[in-house]
Amino acid sequence: MLPPGRDGPFIGENQTLGHFALVSYIPDPLARFLDELREELTPGCKPRAHVTILPPRPLSSRLRDAIEQIADDIAPVPPFRVETDDIEVFAESNVVYLGLSRGVGQLRELYENLNRLALQFKENFPYHPHVTITQNALPELAATARGIARERWARYQGPRGFSVSSLSFVQHVAPSIWTDVAALPLGREVPVAL
């Protein structure tokens, strides 16, 4: 567990309340390991291991329009494999994350294709596919969190990759609580007119 800073261990936790995001959940046993690590480093959080395709954003249109856009845009995309890499830190935001070594191109392509129309939003940072371990940490705690995460990750013996076959559209409904709004499969068959 990390010691709290002057204003608590984490800053800006509620800045995305009411926003929506698009994620792919990671299956067990990798998810269980990542969730336990995140709970250790961020006491009180309610993790569900995932890779983000569209970071949190307000909607500028109806929810139904956003869901239909996602369904239409991902229909021709086949499922793909993601492999994890090393524990890193985004220096600008002090986010400790698990990098990816495979599947990055497909995730970036999904982001580029979906970040338009009902889902368009200008991010604070360039899109960088990853798995978050801790976020909103005070700067002096990020290095400690990275050290602990690297130690735990080096000892982890389970699978280090997963398949992305469906996406979940989620909403931030309360502090540290995201709820699933829609589950959407990749590679859905699209009818072809003859």
Give residue-wise pLDDT tens across range 47-65: 899 999 999 999 988 999 9
Q: How confident is the model at residue 11 (pLDDT cuts 50, 70, 90)?
A: very low
Q: For residues 8-19, b (16+ Cβ closer than 10 Å) or e, as one string?
A: ebbeebeebeeb
Residue 174's DSSP bridge partners are: 177
- Tell whether the model's pLDDT for residue 79 goes beyond 60: yes
- Which residues face 114 on adjacent strands? none
Per-residue model confidence as pLDDT tens digits over 139-190: 778 889 999 999 999 999 999 999 999 999 999 888 778 899 999 999 865 4
> To 5 degrees, how large is the angle CA 131–CA 70–CA 88?
10
**The pLDDT value given to residue 12:** 46
pLDDT of 192 above 70 = no
End-to-end CA distance of the chain: 61
Residue 51: Cβ within 10 Å count: 22
Domain 20-185, CATH homologous superfamily name and number: Cyclic phosphodiesterase (3.90.1140.10)
